[in-house]
Amino acid sequence: MDDRCRALTMQRESIISVHFAIYYSCLLWYLVNRGWDMPLVVTLGEAQEHEFRREVAADDDRKAGASRLPYFGSEDDPNVPFATLNKHDSGRYSGVHFHRIDQFQVVVGGRGMIGRHPVAPLCVRFVRAYTPYGPVQSHSGLAFFVLRARSEKGSLHFPEARQELERVPNRHPFQVTRPAVFPALRDDADVVEELVPDLRDEHGLSVHTLTMNSDSTTVAPDPSRGAGQYALVITGSLLHNGAEYDPLSLVYIGPQEPRLPLRAGATGLQVLILNFPRTHSTSVMPFAAGPHNWRCTWCGYVYEEGRGSPEDHIPRHTSWEKLPPAWTCPDCDAPKGDFRRAV
Ligand SMILES: [Zn+2]
């Protein structure tokens, strides 16, 4: 990069920083003054007003640019919820990394891979704090929400930050990705609610799909069981406090707030409800401990010999010894040597 190009880049970054600081200051002022007495709602159109681009330099190994639409959050205050819609240009590559707090990701556009798992619209992921994942690859304009119950600065890259992981006491790495499938309406019900399988634990983690007939009403699940709740409009519209909210409008409901009233607009409503587990959530995906299962010491992925590794076309009943030495963790790309027998 020559000096002129570097100067332009720095200028652009400082403009983005100032823009972002002003936006977050206004949002923080609003959050402080509203007194947390009602749910916070941001529409796609409002988030688009603050959209900013990150171009990619020729020597950047991320290979392509990205846009970010800020919904909620403040880098100045870790205690407010944080939500963005990230749009990655085709070909963008983000290396393996982790965060210090729990997060959901909800894919709403394009296609890509997270680790070696294909993702497409309405894949929902929960990734616990201190669980490495990736790389994240956009094959065709991957767009996904990042939802956190609190704000956090940046991410830590792996394996450079592995010493930080090693210092975390009582770490319980956990991540799970499942498609959210909305139930069909039945003749005898205006509202149908289902739980997304496996995205749940005994500490309040749960994800619900709700399909509602036009003009029908219900209430969202109780937010007090967990550490915060998001409601994401997928299709139709949500009527709330005299306003009508279109697809990709996002509502945050704190654990102290009452259950969110849900009223569908004239074309019905499909809404995704995501509940964060309380801070001390420690559960992991159930698996049969035994001499034929091997667990990634970094991210918690379990290689079960009986299952093989479908992501890599490794057939069922492939023993650990027969697994190629170059095979790596499908969730975090750790080498085979970082696995231990899961007993
Ligand atoms: Zn792993």
Topology alike, domains 182-275 and 293-341: no
**Tens digit of pLDDT for each residue in 274-295?**
999 986 555 555 556 677 899 9
Distance from C-alpha of 213 to C-alpha of 27, rounded to nearest angstrom = 34
CA of 331 to the centre of ligand 1 (A): 5
**Residue 200's CB: how many other CB atoms inside 10 A?**
18
- How far apart are the CA of 303 and the centre of ligand 1, in A? 10
Report in angstroms the alpha-carbon separations of 318 from 36, 281, 336: 54, 33, 14
* Owner of token pair 């650990």: 320
Supply the CATH classification number for the domain 40-177.
2.60.120.10
Task: Please report, for the chain, the start and end positions of each structural domain, with discontinuous segments joined by +.
Answer: 40-177, 182-275, 293-341
Q: pLDDT for 235-265, tens place per residue? A: 999 999 999 999 999 999 999 999 999 999 9
Q: What's the 333 CA to ligand 1 centre distance in angstroms?
A: 6
Task: Tell me how far the alpha carbon of residue 100 lies from the centroid of ligand 1, in angstroms.
Answer: 17
Distance 134 CA to ligand 1 centre (A): 9
Task: Please identify, in words, the CATH class of the domain defined by 293-341.
Answer: mainly beta
Distance between Cα 238 and ligand 1 center (Å): 39
Euclidean distance between CA atoms 200 and 207, whole angstroms: 7
Beta bridge partners of 144: 86, 107
Domain spanning 182-275: which superfamily? Jelly Rolls (2.60.120.10)
How many angstroms does the Cα of residue 334 sit away from the middle of ligand 1? Answer: 5
**Residue 1 clears pLDDT 50, i.e. is over it:** no
Distance 302 CA to ligand 1 centre (A): 8
Q: What does the pLDDT read at residue 221? A: 96
What spacing in Å lies between the alpha carbon of 296 and ligand 1's midpoint?
A: 5
**How confident is residue 14, by pLDDT bands cut at 50, 70 and 90?**
very low
- 271 within 8 A of 238, measured Cβ to Cβ: yes
Angle at 140 between CA 111 and CA 81, to 5 degrees: 60
